[in-house]
């Protein structure tokens, strides 16, 4: 069923009228994975719904269309694509194909959301391989005017020395070629403190996935939980205002709501209204 936006949303200024200057002032962006059930049924119609909800930016591509076709459909609706995704193996085997696709979309950022590893057993060896691969692929992307970002998924918080393997990934990758996207749900789920990590690594963070986690959800280092544990922003256990405040301080300008649940038609408008 194609999602139709039927909820009247609060304009950002509505919150400002109630309590002064709004904290969230960036454009509204959404990860296309949020609408993965709708895109196959109609790319244009899904983008119409995305536009009606108030989004002006998307991350990624949706539906069985070429990057050129998707960009044209977005352009017709005043939607930009500042960031897109690429699989780990694709980045390793053919980074120039990733460059070509990203440029066709008009994207400036390319994110990778997963490092191959045995479930629940992300190791130092996995991290070392990722550092090598990310540095190599990130260099190719940088040479072509793109910024590569690894999207934190929660399994990287395996303890290592005085920190975690996420610290290893950040400190061992070349900052000229490798940046990071914080998914605040997965960071929190893996035991990380989103605000502290934003402060610690500053402008290594370039993008943010804005999500909330159902209160009381059991956490682990698998990087996976039920999609129904994604809840509307402000209704879960993550301190969204503190994260947005710190993200603004370090200069993040692109924020993408991502909701993996089966209730996006109601939860996404609630999340926009909350922001």
Residue boundaries of the structural domains of the chain: 12-274
**pLDDT tens for residues 172-228?**
999 999 999 999 999 999 999 999 999 999 999 999 999 999 999 999 999 999 999
The helix (H) or strand (E) run that includes residue 72 is helix 67-76
pTM of the complete model: 0.92
Q: Is 5's pLDDT higher than 70?
A: no
Homologous superfamily in CATH for domain 12-274: Divalent-metal-dependent TIM barrel enzymes (3.20.20.150)
Q: Is the dihedral of CA 26, 28, 33, 34 positive or negative?
A: positive
Q: Is 21's pLDDT higher than 80?
A: yes
Q: Is 1's pLDDT higher than 50?
A: no
Tokens of 273: 């209204």
pLDDT at position 2 is 45
**pLDDT tens for residues 105-147?**
999 999 999 999 999 899 999 999 999 999 999 999 999 999 9
pLDDT at position 242 is 98
Pairing of strands 147-151, 179-183: parallel
Mean pLDDT of 93-106: 98
**pLDDT tens for residues 232-264?**
999 999 999 999 999 999 999 999 999 999 999
Residue 153, Cβ density class (10 Å: 0-12 exposed, 13-18 middle, ≥19 buried): buried
Q: Percent of the chain scored above 70 by pLDDT?
A: 93
End-to-end CA distance of the chain: 26
Beta carbons within 10 angstroms of residue 196's beta carbon = 10
Q: Is 34's pLDDT higher than 70?
A: yes
Tokens of 8: 């009247």
């Amino acid at each position: 069923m194609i999602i139709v936006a039927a909820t009247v949303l609060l304009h950002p200024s509505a919150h400002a009228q109630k309590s002064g200057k709004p904290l969230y002032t960036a454009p509204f962006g959404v990860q296309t994975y949020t609408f993965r059930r709708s895109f196959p049924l109609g790319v244009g119609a899904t983008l119409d719904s995305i536009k009606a909800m108030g989004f002006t930016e998307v991350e990624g591509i949706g539906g069985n269309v070429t990057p050129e076709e998707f960009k044209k459909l977005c352009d017709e609706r005043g939607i930009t694509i500042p960031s897109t995704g690429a699989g780990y193996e694709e980045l390793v085997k053919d980074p120039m194909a990733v460059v070509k696709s990203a440029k066709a979309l008009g994207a400036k950022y390319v994110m990778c959301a997963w490092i191959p590893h045995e479930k629940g057993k992300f190791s130092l060896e996995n991290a070392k391989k990722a550092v090598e691969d990310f540095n190599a692929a990130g260099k190719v992307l940088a040479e072509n005017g793109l910024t590569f970002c690894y999207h934190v998924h929660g399994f990287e918080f395996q303890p290592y020395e005085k920190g975690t393997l996420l610290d290893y990934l950040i400190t061992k990758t070349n900052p000229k070629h490798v940046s990071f996207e914080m998914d605040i749900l997965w960071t929190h789920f893996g035991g990380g403190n989103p605000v502290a990590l934003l402060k610690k690594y500053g402008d290594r963070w370039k993008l943010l996935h804005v999500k909330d986690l159902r209160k009381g959800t059991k956490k682990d280092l698998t990087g996976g939980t039920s999609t129904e544990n994604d809840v509307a922003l402000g209704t879960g256990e993550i301190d969204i205002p503190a994260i947005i405040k710190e993200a603004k301080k370090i200069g993040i300008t692109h924020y993408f709501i991502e909701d993996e649940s089966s209730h996006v038609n109601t939860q996404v408008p609630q999340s926009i209204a909350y922001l």
